[in-house]
Amino acid sequence: MRNLFLIFLVTMACLVKAQSNEIDTLTHRGVLYARHSPYALTWSLGIAITSIPRDIVEEEINRFPFLQADIAYGLPYNFSLVAKLNTMVLTNRLLSGIQWNYPLSSFDIALGTDIGYLLGFVTINGFDNSINSWLVYPYIQCGYHHNEILVSVRAEAEYITSQQTFAGDIQVSDTRNRRNGLAFSLIIEQPFFHNQRCALGLKISYSDFVYQAWPAFETFKRTLTVPEVFCAFTFP
Amino acid sequence: MHSLFPKCPHGKSDCIQYIAVLFSFCLFILHSGCIDNPEIIHPTFENDTIITHAKPLQSLVMNSTEGVYDIVSSSVNWGSKAVLHWTNGALCFYFENSGIYAVLRGGTVNNTFAFSGLWRNPLTINTGKVQCIIEDTTQIMSIIRSGTISQLTTIPITLNILSNAGESRQSLTLRYARPSKYRNENYFIIAHRGGGRNSDLLPYSENSLELIRFSQYIGANAVEIDIKLTSDGIPILYHDTDFNSRLIGNGTLIGPVESFSFTQIRTFAKLHDGSNIPTLREALNFIIDSTSLRFVWLDIKSANAMRAIIPLQKEFTQKAQQKNKLLFIAAGLATEEFIQDFMTIPQFSTIPSIVETTVDDMRKVNAKVFAPRWTLGTQNELIQSVQTDGRFAFVWTLDDQKFIRKFLAEGQFNGILTNFPSIVAYEYYAQ
Amino acid sequence: MAYSPISHLLLPMNIMLNKIVTLIIIVIIFTVGTLQAQESKKNQLLLTAAAGISFNSIDNLRLPDDARLSGFGSSVSLIWQPEYLLSVGFETGWLFMNKIERTNITTQFGSTSISSLWQAVPLLCIFGMKIHDNVSLYGGFGYYDIIAVNESFGTTVATSQMNAGLSGALDYHLNLNSQSAFGARFTLHNITELQQRLITLQFSYHYSLLAW
C-alpha cells in the first residue's frame, strides 16, 4: 500500500518536473483524460481483466474479463460529465459523475466524484444470489498531454454508501457507509488510426470489498490488492 | 540512411518524460506481479515449558468446569460471555464476538493449574498466544469434590493475552455462570474441508490430517472432507480439479489431479503446510485413532470416486465399532448424476449416504442424512418429516454468525456445516 | 490417466500449436485490416525473434536443491508500430521453467528414476514504447500455458494449465539496415496466478515485415 502511494507520488512529481513550455491547442479526444472539449462527446469501448486472488474465488470466477464502456461530455467552465459501465452479465457496475479540471501548461489536474450502482445476480447449481450497492468514488487525476498522447495518473477513494447481498429471498448482508479502499491508475491514450484512439491502463486497487468477486460472499475480513489491466478503443 | 528503429519521434526531452511514465508503469507491473495478500504469523510453542511439563488434569475437574462463563473484566472486545469446553485434554474457549477462540494445553505444574496456547479471531488475521495460570487450586478442588459446582462463580479465571513473542499485552477475566446447554447428543458441528478453507489462513492446510485434528479444538465434532481419485484409483483428500498454487506448496505437479498416480502425488506434491496429501484410508484411520470426531461427511468430487470409497466406508465403520467408537461415515451425493450413479451400486440402500438435492431423492436411496443448502431457509416442517423417518438433517454452509444464531434458535436441523466451527460452538453451547 | 510416452508429448504440442497459429492469424488479419485503412506511411509491422536463457526465480516453490532452474528461452512477437507512442502486438514463445532429474532414488515406493520438466508458453498481448533511439520498453498481459511432463515410477504424465500473468521487457537494439535490427533483451515474466517469476536474457532480431 505504501509502495503504491509512493509510486503515485513519484509519477506525479516526474510529470510535473518534465513539464513542457508548449501550450497544447489540440482538441482533447481522450475519454479517460482529465479534460474534455466543451460540448464534445467521446466514448470508448474495451475490456478490463482483473486478477483476483485464487484463494478467494477458487476455481469459479477468477480471470473473467469485463466489458468496459466509458463516455465523456465536455461542459463549459472546465466541467465534464463522465460515465462508465463495467459488465460481464453476472456483475454490472454503472458509474456517472462530474469532474472539474484546472489546465496548467501541458498538464491538467482534475477533481471529480463518481456515483456508482452495482447490480449482480448469479444463478448456478440452484443458487440464486444477488447484490445491489451504491458506491461513491471521489478522485484526483493528473494528466499530461503532448503531441496527442495523453497520460493520466489517478488516485481514487471508494466508499460504500449502501450494499445488500441476497441468497434467494434471504438478505445476507446490509452494509452502510463504509470506507472500502483506494485505487491508483495509470492510463495512456494515443491516436490509433484516423480519429480513433486507443487507451491502455493499469489500475491497482487496495480494498476490502472487490466488486468483481462479490459471488464469493467473503466472510473473512481482509484488504486485498487487486490489479486490473484494461485496453479500450476511443471514438470521437 | 533509413533505419528500422527511427530516432525518437518527439526529441530527447520527451523521452525523459516517457521514461518517467514508463518507470512508474514498470513498477506497477512488478508490484502487481508480487502482490502480498494478507499473511498471518501463527504462534509456535516448541519451547513452551507449560505444555511440555504440565500433568493432565483429572477428568472430574474437566467435566465440572465446562460451561458458560461471564466475562467480568476485559481489555479486549471479545464479548460478554464465553464457553469453556474440554476437547481431548485441551482447554478450549469460544467467545461471543466473531467466534474468537482460545485453545490451551497444560494441567498441573507445582500445585498450580497452568495452561498455554493460542487465540485467534477466525474472521481476521489477529492471533497470538494466551496463558492461564491459577495459583490457588485448593478452593477449586474442594468445590469440585463437594459437587457444589455453582460455587465456581466465586473464582475468577484470568487469561493473559500475549503477543506472538510472548509479551503480556491484554487480559481477560471470566467467572463461571452456568453449565453448557447440550440440546441433544446428536448435534453435529461439521467443519468444512476438514476444518476450514486455505483462505481462512488456518495453521494447517485444508483437507490435511493436522487440520482435522485442529478442527476439534475449534469446536467441531464432525468433519466434511473432499475426495478425489488418483489415476490408479486411490481416493485422496483434495478439493480442486487441478493441482494449483491455491492448494499445493511445491511446484512439481500441475494439472488435473486424476492424471497422476498415487505414488507420483505422494512423492512430488506437498500441501502448503508441508504435509502430504492424505489418502482417505489414512484420514479415516487418523480420525478413529487420534480424534474424538463422531461424523465424517465424504464430499465426493469426482463421479468415479464413488465406487472406490464405499469399501473404505464399510471397513472403517467396522473398525470404529470394534474400538467401541461412535463414528458415522456417510457418502455425500450432491447432484442428480451422483445419485443415479450411486443407485447402480449393489445394495446401495444399505450404504450410509447424504443427499443434498431433494427429500424424494433421499428416500429413493434410503440416505441417512438430508442436507439442503442454508439459503432454502429453516424448512421446519420438511425437516421434521425427515427426522420422523429416523434420519438426520444438516444444513450447509453457514458462516455468518447471525444466521447461525437464527438456525440454532428457529431451525430443527441436527447439524451445521461451517467454515467457522468456533462460531457455531459458541452459539450452540451458550444457548 | 497415463499416456504412452509418444502420444502424451504430441497431444499438448498439437493443441498448443493450434492455439498459437490461430492467435497469430487473428493478429495478422486485424493488423492488415487496420493497414488498409491507413493513409499515412509511418507504420510498420515488426517481427521479433529472441533466444537466450530463461531463469526461474522461484518465490514460493519448495523445489529440491538439485532442481535446474535455467534453460533455453525463446520468444516470437509480432508488433504493429505506429508513428505514435505505443506499439501493440502479440507475443508467444517457449520458456524453460524448471527441471528435476534423478536416477535410482529410493522412495517409500521403491527405487525409481525421476524426471520432471516445466515449460511455459506465453500468450500475451504486448504494448511497446520507444524510450530512447536504441531502447524500447514492453509490457504485456495475458496467459501462460504451463506444460509439465513428469516421468517417474515407469509412467509418463503430461499436463498443461493456463495461468494469468504479466510481463515487462527492456530491449536494446542496433539497426543493421532499413529492414532489420539486432539487439539484446531482458524480460521479467510474472505468472501471477501461479506465483512464479521467470527472467529471460535473450539476443533479439527484429525484422520489418511491412512498412507503409
Among chain C residues, CA nearest to B261: C1
User: Which residue intervals of B98-231 are DSSP H helices?
Assistant: 138-146, 209-217
pLDDT above 80 for B4: no
Q: What is the DSSP letter of A32?
A: S
Best of A55, A59, A62, A190 to mutate (most C CBs within 10 Å, chain C): A190
Cα separation, A199 vs A187, whole angstroms: 7
Q: Kindly state whether A40 is in contact with chain B, defined as any CB-CB distance less than 8 angstroms.
A: no
Q: Give the best-scoring range by mean pLDDT among B39-53, B154-168, B290-304.
A: B290-304
Buried b (16+ CB within 10 A) or exposed e, B325-334: eebbbbbbbb
For residue B358, the chain A residues in CB contact (below 8 A) are: none
What residues have CB less than 8 Å from C106, skipping those under 6 apart? none
What residues have CB less than 8 Å from B194, skipping those under 6 apart? B206, B207, B208, B211, B212, B215, B223, B224, B225, B237
H/E element holding B312?
Answer: helix B306-322
Q: Kindly state whether B249 is in contact with chain C, defined as any CB-CB distance less than 8 angstroms.
A: yes
Q: Which of B31, B374, B420 sits opposite A4 (nearest CB)?
A: B31
Query: Which residue would you say has higher pLDDT here, A182 or C64?
Result: A182
Of B116, B193, B120, residue with least CA distance to B160: B116
Cα separation, C86 vs C80, whole angstroms: 9
What residues have CB less than 8 Å from A233, skipping those under 6 apart? A44, A45, A46, A192, A196, A197, A198, A199
Q: What percent of chain B has a predicted confidence (pLDDT) above 90? A: 64
Query: Which residue would you say has higher pLDDT here, B16 or A152?
Result: A152
Task: Mark yes or no for CB contact C131/B252 under 8 Å.
Answer: no
Specify the pLDDT at position C23: 57
Residue B388 CB coordination number (10 Å)? 8
Among chain A residues, CA nearest to B9: A147
Q: Residue A97 belongs to what domain range? A: 2-235
Asked if A56 and A213 count as a contact pair (C-beta separation under 8 A), the reply is yes
pLDDT above 80 for B93: yes
Domain B188-429: CATH class, spelled out = alpha beta
Q: What is the largest CA-CA distance in chain A?
A: 63
For residue B264, the chain C residues in CB contact (below 8 A) are: 150, 152-153, 155, 157
Q: What is the DSSP letter of B246?
A: T
Q: Kindly state whether B402 is in contact with chain C, defined as any CB-CB distance less than 8 angstroms.
A: no
- What's the average model confidence in pLDDT over B95-100? 95
Q: Kindly state whether B25 is in contact with chain A, defined as any CB-CB distance less than 8 angstroms.
A: yes
pLDDT above 50 for C47: yes
Q: Kindly state whether A53 is in contact with chain B, defined as any CB-CB distance less than 8 angstroms.
A: yes
* pLDDT band, very low/low/confident/very high, at C210 (cuts 50, 70, 90): confident
For residue B17, the chain A residues in CB contact (below 8 A) are: 14-15, 18, 20, 144, 146
Q: Kindly state whether A56 is in contact with chain B, defined as any CB-CB distance less than 8 angstroms.
A: yes
Of B122, C7, B218, residue with least CA distance to A219: B122
Lowest model confidence (mean pLDDT) among A196-210, B107-121, C35-49, C193-207 = C35-49
Q: Kindly state whether A3 is in contact with chain B, defined as any CB-CB distance less than 8 angstroms.
A: yes
Cα separation, B287 vs A56, whole angstroms: 28
Letter for the amino acid at B23?
A: F
For residue B17, the chain C residues in CB contact (below 8 A) are: none
Query: Which residue would you say has higher pLDDT here, C12 or B71?
Result: B71
Specify the pLDDT at position B22: 58
Q: For residue C166, give how far its alpha carbon lies from the nearest alpha carbon of chain A (Å).
A: 10
- What's the average model confidence in pLDDT over B108-132? 92
Cα first-last separation, chain C: 52
Among chain B residues, CA nearest to A127: B375
Q: Tally the C-alpha atoms within 13 A of residue A28's C-alpha that lie toward its C-beta.
A: 29
Distances (CA, A) of B314 to B235, B321, B328, B340, B370: 14, 11, 10, 21, 20
Specify the pLDDT at position B33: 47
Characterize the bridge pairing of strands C110-132 and B255-256: unpaired
What residues have CB less than 8 Å from B41, skipping those under 6 apart? B127, B164
Specify the pLDDT at position C193: 79
Of B111, B128, B131, residue with least CA distance to B119: B128
Set of cell numbers at residue B407: 438456525
Domain C5-211: CATH class, spelled out = mainly beta
- In degrees and rounded to multiples of 5, residue A157 shows phi and psi of -105, 155
- In degrees and rounded to multiples of 5, residue C153 shows phi and psi of 50, 35
Q: What percent of chain A has a predicted confidence (pLDDT) above 70? A: 83
* pLDDT band, very low/low/confident/very high, at B243 (cuts 50, 70, 90): very high
Q: Tally the C-alpha atoms within 13 A of residue A203's C-alpha that lie toward its C-beta.
A: 22
Task: Mark yes or no for CB contact B31/A11 under 8 Å.
Answer: no
Specify the pLDDT at position A229: 85
**Structural domain tally of chain A?**
1
Letter for the amino acid at B84?
A: L
Q: Which of C37, C86, C88 sits opposite A194 (nearest CB)?
A: C37
